[in-house]
Structure 1
């Protein structure tokens, strides 16, 4: 079972997410709480995935994200937002969020996205504007991104490209004929070499460095 914690200031949103997710046989919503109770709920319920509202009146979602990320064996955290372009999104990605979802995500898709998060995938809502991503990519010189990517082995670069495509470790293993454990080791190594804390950060850094375009060109050549 995938254990999920829903954090949102609106009771209606919490209830809706609980009903949608618990309709899936492999997902259990272990708690659904407002922001002020989030960190304690993570400690007590030990979820695999946290869906965290990015804007709450009682506590800043980014503050909660930072506190959760500091916990031992911290869960995967995806941010929830009602906006297709939110000034807090880039900050959330830099703080280690595994992605973000709009609250009006198709209910049929929500369990699949949670499964991807639990499996180590990166989730970015299809409605997120390119402006948000470009803002992140522009934050820092491309030369620095290229220097960090140059630390990677050829296999690590190939893994990074598949991470950037949003594939979880198991699917990367199938694609590259590697065990899931080996893929996990490669992902951990490239996180260290790239000095990032999440798959989304790694993917965006690879984009900034031009790695994804290089692999696309190689594939078409």
Structure 2
């Protein structure tokens, strides 16, 4: 039986879609109106559903960012996006985010087909540019890597932070001022698409562990 998680900022939509998928023989493990809650469940809970069905527009995080954060870390769950607007409006964004499909909320048959394909890690919409889970993750990581060509000093600073060095230690080791360290850190954050030092370090480590260059 296919296991599914659903996130939509409209609780009624969550309820209706849960009922429809259960009637199709699927096991809807949970439904939530919070994208942040869905992210935690998909990344950190042991019982991750095979498929996440996600609304595009939500209050705390949009569906594209939710999908992107999951896919950069994992090949599962397969992700099917849904929207109340014409899907072509979000098609390119959904493909880039690593989703396996995008359907109108009223297209119940299409959603079922998309969920069944995503449960196997595949896509039912390859003709629209969607990739399977593995290909989507690889494409995302290549994109991150291509934008994150750090200079030698930027890489050194982030690597030292990753190794637990404090700013004062880095200043002494590299014989540079605190302002210079901050500049290298700021540039590295921008190239890695990170808002904070902690995010930059996490992305740097993830690129290294997946064999990508930075």
TM-score, normalised with respect to structure 2: 0.54
1:78 Cα offset (Å): 1.3
Contact 2:8/2:55 (CA < 8 Å) preserved in 1?
Answer: yes
1:99 Cα offset (Å): 1.2
Matches within 5 A, 1:49-198: 49-106=51-108, 108=109, 110-124=111-125, 191=135, 196=139
What is the alpha-carbon distance in structure 2 between the residues aligned to residue 71 and residue 48 of structure 1?
15
Greater Rg, structure 1 or structure 2?
2
What is the alpha-carbon distance in structure 2 between the residues aligned to residue 36 and residue 90 of structure 1?
23
1:29 Cα offset (Å): 0.6
In structure 1, the gaps of 5 or more residues are 125-129, 137-163, 169-186, 198-221
1:59 Cα offset (Å): 1.5
What is the alpha-carbon distance in structure 2 between the residues aligned to residue 196 and residue 72 of structure 1?
13
Offset from partner CA, 1:33-71 (integer Å, 9 cap, x none): 122311112132301111111111221212111111133
1:112 Cα offset (Å): 3.5
Contact 1:83/1:102 (CA < 8 Å) preserved in 2?
Answer: yes
Offset from partner CA, 1:195-221 (integer Å, 9 cap, x none): 636xxxxxxxxxxxxxxxxxxxxxxxx
In structure 2, the gaps of 5 or more residues are 141-214
Contact 1:54/1:80 (CA < 8 Å) preserved in 2?
Answer: yes
Give the count of matched residue pairs.
137
Q: Which residue of structure 1 aligns with residue 49 of structure 2? A: 47
Q: Which residue of structure 2 aligns with residue 157 of structure 1? A: none
Offset from partner CA, 1:50-104 (integer Å, 9 cap, x none): 1111111221212111111133442111111111145433122012111111101
